[in-house]
Structure 1
């Protein structure tokens, strides 16, 4: 059986973002597995406009080439991990915009979140989970939260140490998250295919 394809969506585009550091760590953790392949999907690479379509692609096809490229790329994956910072108790605006630009590629696929910030991005992740339910994704229970003193061990505003300094704390959560994603992706993929064949 081929490996499941899971997108690791980098949810901020700021030049000074922290996301690349935990993303590289999670890619290394996922590379040790034989059931899934994690691939980085960076919002910087899509230059999405603000959502201004008459309706989402649930109701009509997109017309903007940049939006179509985003939707087509999302459709390639069996599930998603959203790596998100917390901005003012919620997700970054560019992530919300990217979610608004697609609907159909997300339907009945599992998602998980890796939040980071002073309290581990927990409030952003809770907001995100409500959004993805509306997009008919399946949020898995397990996720990763990098917060408090562990966050400042590896963030440039703190000690700026390597991610290996917090590996022992984060790895059990990362393993549980990827286990959940693999289980749900394996269960949902044939169900989606059966539904598509029937229609």
Structure 2
């Protein structure tokens, strides 16, 4: 996953009422050249099955499960066939469960203590959340106090298309975006297309 995010350091978070409803938007995102998509978990019957259909329909996309904060959600993500999942919290029990099931779970962190704990638990990736409330310079400011080495960081939570380049320049490794109040409008998709065009070349 880290290698793929080095190629394109951007993820889009979709929150459809039913996963299958996301198919038209996935067609659009795939046409724009997006590689990484998250589908938010919902505790509803059929969620895993519908996600499995989407994953099979778009084999070129890297699918992840978003909003994974319970044992039930970890199991559902595994059953759906997701390559990875992201949590808003750091919960060792969920990390152990995901590891046993063979799925990468990226924990949500905010404080230096949580980042230190995530590293101690063997996490190579973390999700900085809620990123917008912390500011683009926050992550880089932690490097020296935490010994000079930070895990691969996906900044998420309240970020807009206009935030992508400033946050990457400030030192995070990837950005997760949602449509927010703007919704999946033509304006949003146009902005996303520009972001994809302006992303730094693979390193």
TM-score, length basis structure 2: 0.33
TM-score, length basis structure 1: 0.34
